[in-house]
Amino acid sequence: MEALNALPKEVKVVAVSRTLPTVMVESFLKEYVGFNAVAGREIQGGPRFLTGVTVEFDMERLARVLKHTEKTSCPYRKPMVFHDGRLAFTPTPAAALAMYIYFLFAIVLAVICIAIYVLLPWRVPSVVAGLIGFLEPVNTESGKSSIEVANEVQRALVSALGFEGTALTRKDKYLLLAGNEGVVKTK
């Protein structure tokens, strides 16, 4: 930053970003680093929308930016504080106490939520129902086809969860959802 202040007043200092769009880096580089202008890729779009597609950076864009840039000396740039995200507040005794109280409060709330979830008479998801024995075992070794076994498993799940089954077959469902009979031809 000191190097930018050491330049003569007539010199324009331009940052060039060949990969990131100008709108993503311009304010940071101007306000915090002290560049006079930023030239980079532009994002395509219309007057009220952006498509997200960037236009390749070229030297004509750099020339336009240089032509419309005036030298502005800003000796007081915004201060930058780099941190790794773990300290979100000043570590004072009062702030540490507040954090520990909040942490204990969060644990109590989590326990209460779990106790309410367990005690309320909600329907148990099918995986949990299967693990704790609500589902009847399905006989898969009686010479039935895989489609018949799948239909039997589906009926067991429907009855365990208290839902009402439909008369649609597997092929009917595939025709409705995917437009085919559930068979994908490979090359």
* Residue 156 domain-assigned (yes or no): yes
The tens digit of pLDDT for each residue in 17-73 reads: 888 888 888 888 888 887 888 888 888 888 888 788 888 888 888 888 888 876 555
Q: How many domains does the chain have?
A: 2
The tens digit of pLDDT for each residue in 76-94 reads: 567 666 656 555 667 788 8
Tell me what pLDDT residue 108 has. 92
* Residue 97 domain-assigned (yes or no): no
* Residue 79 domain-assigned (yes or no): no
pTM comes to: 0.38
Of the candidates 173, 131, 136, the one whose C-alpha atom is nearest the C-alpha of residue 155 is: 136
Distances (CA, A) of 75 to 6, 167, 173: 11, 77, 69
Tell me what pLDDT residue 115 has. 78
Q: Report the chain's mean pLDDT, rounded to a whole number.
A: 77
* Residue 47 domain-assigned (yes or no): yes
What range defines the domain where residue 156 resides?
A: 142-177
Tell me what pLDDT residue 86 has. 59
* Residue 129 domain-assigned (yes or no): no
Query: DSSP letter at 154?
Result: H
For residue 131, name the pLDDT band (cuts at 50, 70, 90). Answer: low
* Residue 50 domain-assigned (yes or no): yes
Of the candidates 110, 111, 86, 112, the one whose C-alpha atom is nearest the C-alpha of residue 99 is: 86
* Residue 82 domain-assigned (yes or no): no
Q: Which two tokens stand for residue 48?
A: 């009220």
Of 67, 92, 113, the residue at which a domain comes to its end is: 67
* Residue 8 domain-assigned (yes or no): yes
Tell me what pLDDT residue 104 has. 92
